[in-house]
Amino acid sequence: MNDRKIRIAVLHFSHETVSFLPNETTLDDFIYPGSPAKGEELLRFDPKNYMGGFVQVAREFSEVELVGIESPLWPKTGIGSGWVTEEAYETFVGKMIAGLKEEGPFDGVYLCLHGAMAVHGIPRPEADLARRVRQVVGRSAFIAATFDLHGNEDEAFLEHADMGFAVKYFPHYDAHLQGERAARTLVRAIRGDYRPTHKTIKVPVISPTVLQWTGASPWMDLVQRALVWEAREMDVYVNIFFGFPFADVPDVGMTVQVLTNDNPKLAEQVARDLAGTIWRLREALLQSTKLHSIADGVALARQAVENGNTPVVLADHSDRSGAATWLLREIVAQDLANTLIATIADAKTTASLKASGAKAGDAFDMEVGGLVDDSAGEAVRIKGTILRAVEGYGQFWVCVGFGRNNVLILSTYLVQIMEPFSLKALVPDIGAFDVMAIKSRVHFRRGFDDNGFAKTILLVEPEQPFLGTTRLDKLPYENVDLARFYPYGNPTFSV
Ligand SMILES: [Zn+2]
């Protein structure tokens, strides 16, 4: 019986930074009602994801006390903003370190992270955070983290922390599960029942996220292989970071990380097996998803409607600002009917509509979207009627009915629709649309594809290589040499 009190500090700092976007992620973006959060508010903020899984399992141990240290939640820009400013990063890390000193000592720390945060002047922010946390809590405490598989990670993080648990699926169905594992393994480590050893191998393969859906081979096969290792060997945890190529940081690309209980040899064996498997499959990994031009995609959507294969999803995977109008323009040009466009981000137009007291029933005739950068395209003039205008989730939302039963949703920021019924409050008859045009790469498959909702899925991108492009060699990297990665260079790799 071990009833010594175990004190665990809980911290959160997550962003998936599209460093090629012109708008920085500022201190202000992290500050809104609910964020930063501490204490119970932090522990409760995301019950279905990493944090919820961690808290649920940690609290199954009666001797565990969780202390929520003041932490920023996701910025209100979501994933629609670029470099995190040093001011934002230092302000929050400073508060975290001060909080740890004030509330300590601790036996363990849980870092709820994403892994693809990019900060001006800090090449590896998650590892930097772990290093600074370690300085406060000392060598005897254990530090565990959870990660998104889009994390850009290398060996640096585990030089300072003890354990990392990344989701395996994309869409990320297992975030809660990884939080649970982090809690259980952290408590075991603190009790002396788990001695974390690990092996990290970078694999020189870089891929755009739209290709990384784990519902299809060979991405699915990588997941399966990792699960087999976890099932056949006790206390083995496998992370396969697919990486996030839209952050211009030195640790992009794929990474295999294996955690074992005091068994470095086994960690090495499993990591080599998976790294070798990725390398063998590299060509097929990059050919797993079919992409269409915007014009072809809209024409195929029309055909699918004629054939009764509805609802159709048109997913513009490449829009990183949320303001892109390419798909909207083509939908208007090809005169699609019963189509929902969700969303066009337009901070200016939504602000002016809010200021003028826009309401349901008002006539609408405005230029929407576009313009924020080249990738957003031109603004498109839409004439119709306002169906709804509401405030929510820190944004102003305006639904405009136009054309033949089409509905356009304007939002303040980029919105990635993952579940069609998440829009119910804005568009009550969500099941009535033949076509749904959204901005998403893979996450939408959660609510549109993997659950059988949509009968036709079409991924589209503009002809030009804009910043969300699959043609990564068109991006202005400064900190990454693409020639070191397959398929852009001819790197050698062996395990
Ligand atoms: Zn992700």
Report strand pairing: 339-345 vs 292-293: unpaired
Residue 202 CA to ligand 1 centre (angstroms): 18
CB 343 within 8 A of CB 439: yes
pLDDT (tens digit, 9 = 90+) per residue, 94-137?
999 999 999 999 999 999 999 999 999 999 999 999 999 999 99
- 170 Cα: distance to centroid of ligand 1 (angstroms): 7
Contact status, residue 104 vs residue 136, Cβ threshold 8 Å: yes
Compute, in angstroms, the gap from residue 287 CA to the centroid of ligand 1.
20
Lowest mean per-residue pLDDT among 66-70, 366-370, 486-490: 366-370
Q: Kind and range of the H or E element at 388?
A: strand 380-392
Take residue 192 and report the two structure tokens written for it. 């002396």
- 252 C-alpha to ligand 1 centroid (Å): 14
Task: Reply yes or no on whether the pLDDT at 373 is more than 80.
Answer: no
Q: How far apart are CA 144 and CA 186, in angstroms?
A: 6
What pLDDT, on the 0 to 100 scale, is given for residue 2?
Answer: 53
**223, 168 Cβ separation under 8 angstroms:** yes
Q: How far is the CA of 110 from the centre of ligand 1 (A)?
A: 19
Distance 316 CA to ligand 1 centre (A): 17
Cα 279 to middle of ligand 1, angstroms? 21
Average confidence (pLDDT) over 326-332 = 94
Q: Determine the distance separating the centroid of ligand 1 and the alpha carbon of 333, expressed in angstroms.
A: 33
pTM, entire model: 0.88
Strand order in the sheet with 406-411: 292-293, 456-461, 312-316, 435-438, 339-345, 406-411, 395-402, 380-392, 363-368
Nearest Cα residue to 67 out of 118, 129, 109? 109
The CA angle 16-418-245, to the nearest 5 degrees, is: 30
Q: Given the structure tokens 């040899």, which residue do they identify?
A: 265
Q: What is the pLDDT of residues 168-179, one digit of tens each?
A: 999 999 999 999
**Paired tokens of 159:** 């030089």
Average pLDDT of the chain, as a whole number: 93
Measured N-to-C along each axis, helices 326-333 and 294-306 cross at an angle, to the nearest 10 degrees, of 50
What tokens does 254 get?
């794929």
Q: How far from 389 is each of 290, 397, 405, 427, CA to CA, in Å?
A: 36, 6, 18, 11
Most confident stretch, 19-33, 136-150, 431-445, 449-463:
136-150
| Closest alpha carbon to 153 in 98, 200, 212 | 200
With 80 as the cut, is the pLDDT of residue 468 above it?
no
- Counting residues of the chain whose pLDDT is more than 70, the rounded percentage is 99
Identify the pLDDT of residue 1: 45
- The pLDDT tens digits for 291-303 are 899 999 999 999 9
What was the pLDDT predicted at 3? 60
Distance 357 CA to ligand 1 centre (A): 37
Is 357 in contact with 386 (CB distance < 8 Å)? Answer: no
Concatenated DSSP letters of 288-322: SS--EEHHHHHHHHHHHHHTT--SEEEEETT-SSS
From 423, 407, 422, 419, select the one nearest 360 (Cα to Cα). 407
Span from the CA of 185 to the centroid of ligand 1 (angstroms): 23
Q: Which residues are paired to 395 by β-bridges?
A: 392
Q: Give 406 Cα–ligand 1 centroid separation in angstroms.
A: 31
Distance (angstroms) between ligand 1 centre and the Cα of 274 equals 20
- For ligand 1, the distance from its centroid to the CA atom of residue 159, given in whole angstroms, is 23
Neighbouring C-alpha atoms within 13 Å toward the C-beta of 40? 0
- Centre of ligand 1 to C-alpha 479, Å, is 21
Judged against a pLDDT cut of 70, whether residue 389 lies above it is answered with yes
74-78, 422-426, 464-468: the lowest-pLDDT one: 464-468
| 324's tokens | 């892109």
Cα-to-centroid distance, 250 and ligand 1 (Å): 18
pLDDT in tens, 235-293: 999 999 999 999 999 999 999 999 999 999 999 999 999 999 999 999 999 998 888 99
Kindly give the distance from the C-alpha atom of residue 99 to the centroid of ligand 1, in angstroms, as a whole number: 28
Span from the CA of 114 to the centroid of ligand 1 (angstroms): 8
Q: Using alpha carbons, list the distances in angstroms from residue 180 to 27, 49, 231, 253.
A: 30, 10, 17, 27
Q: Quick one: pLDDT band at residue 218, thresholds 50, 70, 90?
A: very high
Distance 445 CA to ligand 1 centre (A): 13
Instruction: Say yes or no to pLDDT of 376 above 90.
Output: no
Instruction: Say which residue the tokens 């820190």 belong to.
Output: 394
Ligand 1 center from residue 443 Cα (angstroms): 8
The pLDDT score that the predictor gives to residue 146 is 98
How far is ligand 1, taken at its centre, from the CA of residue 90, in Å? 24
> 370: pLDDT confidence band, cut at 50, 70 and 90?
confident
Q: pLDDT tens digits, residue range 144-165?
A: 999 999 999 999 999 999 999 9
DSSP-assigned beta bridge partners for residue 344: 410
**pLDDT of 358 higher than 50:** yes
If pLDDT is split at 50, 70 and 90, which confidence band does 322 have? confident
Task: Tell me if residue 436 falls in helix, strand or coil.
Answer: strand
Phi, psi of 135 (to 5 degrees): -60, -35
CA of 438 to the centre of ligand 1 (A): 17
Residue 404 Cα to ligand 1 midpoint, Å, equals: 36
Q: How many CB atoms are closer than 10 A to CB 393?
A: 13
CA 468 to ligand 1 centroid distance, Å? 15
- 143 contacts 111 by C-beta, under 8 angstroms: yes
- Distance CA(395)–CA(392), nearest Å, equals 5
Domain ranges of the chain: 6-285, 292-469
The Cβ of residue 303 has, within 10 Å, a number of other Cβ atoms equal to 12
Distance (angstroms) between ligand 1 centre and the Cα of 318 equals 15
172 CA → ligand 1 middle, Å: 7
Q: How far is the CA of 54 from the centre of ligand 1 (A)?
A: 18
pLDDT of residue 418: 86
